[in-house]
A = this chain, B = another copy of it.
Amino acid sequence: MIHDPWEPPEVPLAVDLVILTLRGTSLQVLLIERAIEPYQGAFALPGGFLAHVEEDLGTAARRELAEEAGIEAGSLYLEQLGVYGEPGRDPRGRVVSVAYLAVAPRLPEPVAGSDAADASWQPTNRVLSGELVLAFDHRRIITDGVERARVKLENSALATAFCGPAFTIGDLQEVYEAVWGRPLDPRNFYRKVQKASGFIVPVGREQRTTVGRPARLFRAGLSSVLSPPITRPVAPAADAADTHPEEEG
């Protein structure tokens, strides 16, 4: 409707990172404690503005991942989660944020970065249940990220990204149980992962030190999509986030 010379409005663009890892049998998310206003002292996702106007979004995500958590994203699963851009989500003014999901095997304790007073791993359960209060709309972003990871586990070989280069089927099962938040039958799980062609391949029939019978070691296969999928039981979030229903954004 406007044919006059008109400059399109420009908005500050940020990336937020949902970094999930497994610590023990708990699915945890990397959070920082904000050192500056707004939301000073509150937990928040790592992230930040683009470094310059031509920076690629994925590049920015990997840069923030390295800066704020000391994680090199080379071998990391990284996926766009969505755009969070309602006016008012940031009290400083209009900020549009692109959320990325990253998943990593057991990681060391993070070190606090530039604008963070602290950085730490926190169980996703404490976030999903509302026990931890987060800045901005970051609770919703984490909720979306965890649900995305749960679905990804069904259809993709994502679970192997949580494991080391060699793992047992029991290790893999622990990953599924931690992310899905429910126990699985070892026998049926065994059958399923074996049937998904290209999911895992046995590595030179080595064993592992245990109390019982040693387990075979596997490594990630070439397939990134699982067929048939590893279906998860019904009632998607029955024990991990069953405290109260979610409000919609």
Contacts and interface: CB of A to CB of B under 8 A. Distances in A.
A94 B11 contact: no
B9 A87 contact: no
B53 A9 contact: yes
Contacts of A52: 9
Given A53-B94, A56-B86, A96-B57, A10 B11 contact: yes
A189 to B, nearest CB: 22
A10 B53 contact: yes
A145 to B, nearest CB: 15
Which size class do A's interface residues fall under?
20 to 34
Contact of A98 (B53, B54, B83): B83
Given A2-B114, A56-B87, A80-B83, A11 B11 contact: yes
Contacts of A80: 82-83
Contacts of A83: 57, 80, 82-83, 98
Interface in A6-62: 8-14, 49-57
Nearest to A3: B114
A86 B80 CA distance: 13
A96 B87 CA distance: 17
A50 B9 contact: yes
Contact of A9 (B2, B49, B86): B49
A235 to B, nearest CB: 11
Interface of A: 1-3, 8-14, 49-57, 67, 80, 82-83, 85-87, 94, 96, 98, 114
Given A10-B10, A57-B85, A80-B83, 15 more contacts: A1-B67, A2-B114, A8-B14, A9-B13, A9-B49, A10-B11, A10-B12, A11-B50, A13-B13, A56-B85, A56-B87, A57-B83, A57-B96, A82-B83, A85-B98
